[in-house]
Amino acid sequence: MILILKDKATKEQIQEVTKIYEGYTKVVVDIEQSVLAAGGEYHIDCEEALIADGSDQSNLWGSAQGKLTLLGLRITNRQQIIYPTK
């Protein structure tokens, strides 16, 4: 299952997207729209979901995250990075 997240992930959402790889998930972020897609077996699964949702491929960045990290991710499109919230 691929989830497109515009806000902080809930514990239930994290449990859902970490089913394929226990405690770990693939993520792709649209740095322009500040949207994150998580889940699936491959990064391309998240990328395709974001493109179908209107993202431009040139704004997409991939990563992989553990459960605890995903709970605290914040996206900043100005600096074009992902970093943990405080």
pLDDT digits (tens, 9 = 90+) for 17-66: 888 887 778 889 898 998 999 988 888 999 999 999 999 999 898 877 66
Lowest mean pLDDT among 33-37, 50-54, 71-75, 78-82: 78-82
Per DSSP (E only), the strands in the chain are 2-5, 24-30, 35-39, 60-66, 73-76, 81-84
Q: Cα(24)–Cα(26) distance, rounded to whole angstroms?
A: 7
Q: Cα(70)–Cα(72) distance, rounded to whole angstroms?
A: 5
**pLDDT beyond 50 at 79:** no
Helix (H, G, I), strand (E, B) or coil at 64: strand
Q: Residue 77's pLDDT is what?
A: 41
Q: Residue 68's pLDDT is what?
A: 46
Q: 32 and 59 in contact (C-beta within 8 Å)?
A: yes
Q: 35 and 54 in contact (C-beta within 8 Å)?
A: no
Between 1 and 69, residue with greater pLDDT: 1
Amino acid at 66: G
